[in-house]
Structure 1
Amino acid sequence: MLTVTPEEISQFRSQLANSPEALAALDAIEECEGDLEAATQLIAIETTDAEVSLRGDSNYLEKLAEKLSNIICQEEFDELITGVLTAAIAYLAASGNIPVALATPVVIYVVKIGKKQFCETAKPES
């Protein structure tokens, strides 16, 4: 289980202050006591997520990130993920055609495990 500490949530809040959807995602992460997986499932249920087949899966976050790895592992995503995360979240949401609220925990997940490590182990769906 990958968790986000209250301190990290606070840092993300200041970075994402101008994005109401991202802040709502942080509220869900906080509600789930920092459990990124549980929060992602909660957000997926609350949003109009087309990935219904993944709901309830204990690895939903990981599978969603892998599904989006073709976007996350692009070189231009490096710049976005090392800066203010709002740009990375907006880019992932637009490119992956998912709600900003759902892109938020995916970006946090990739930041937590490291983009390089994620991209070395990700198996994108073909």
Structure 2
Amino acid sequence: MIIVTPEEISQFRSQLADNPEALAALDAIEECKGNLEAATQLIAVETTDAEVGFKAKEDSNYLENLAQKLSKIICQEEFKELMTGVLTAAIATLAASGNIPVALATPVVIYVAKIKVKDFCEAAKPES
């Protein structure tokens, strides 16, 4: 279980101040006491169609599985470079490339940032 501290949430808020969807995702993370998995499931239920939302509720590793599905994008060199700075560009790129809502891309990017993108990509098996 990955926990985002109140201090980290505050840092992300300042980075993402111009993005209402990302801020809403941070609210969900805060509401879930920093539990990134629980927040991602909550966001999926609120922002995606019923089928995806239902799967999110049933999947205790939804965040990890979603990140794995998006690993082809996350593990591209250009995306890894976005992860080194302010995360706004990484979130926008992942949302657009992965065809997911910004609110759902936000916890995925935070998850990858917390476990380190390099480590994630070494462990990931991108789907073809």
TM class, shorter-length: over 0.9
Q: Name the structure 1 match of 2:33.
A: 33
Unpaired stretches in structure 1, ≥5 consecutive residues: none
| Identical residues among aligned pairs (%) | 80
Amino acid at match of 1:36: L
Tell me the distance in 2 between the aligned counterparts of 1:51 and 1:69: 18
Unpaired stretches in structure 2, ≥5 consecutive residues: none
Q: Name the structure 2 match of 1:3.
A: 3
Tell me the distance in 1 between the aligned counterparts of 2:53 and 2:32: 21
Tell me the distance in 2 between the aligned counterparts of 1:54 and 1:121: 24
Return the offset for 1:34. 0.2
Amino acid at match of 2:111: Y
Q: Name the structure 2 match of 1:119.
A: 121
Q: Name the structure 2 match of 1:54.
A: 55
Tell me the distance in 1 between the aligned counterparts of 2:117 and 2:98: 17
Tell me the distance in 2 between the aligned counterparts of 1:121 and 1:14: 30
Return the offset for 1:53. 6.5
Please state if 1:65 is matched with 2:64: no
- How many residue pairs get matched? 126
Amino acid at match of 2:9: I
Q: Name the structure 1 match of 2:95.
A: 93
Tell me the distance in 1 between the aligned counterparts of 2:99 and 2:88: 16
Amino acid at match of 1:18: D
Amino acid at match of 1:54: K
Please state if 1:14 is matched with 2:14: yes
Query: 2:41–2:53: 8 Å Cα contact kept in structure 1?
Result: no
Return the offset for 1:84. 1.0
TM-align CA RMSD: 1.3
Tell me the distance in 1 between the aligned counterparts of 2:71 and 2:124: 7
User: Structure 1-normalised TM-score?
Assistant: 0.95
User: Structure 2-normalised TM-score?
Assistant: 0.94
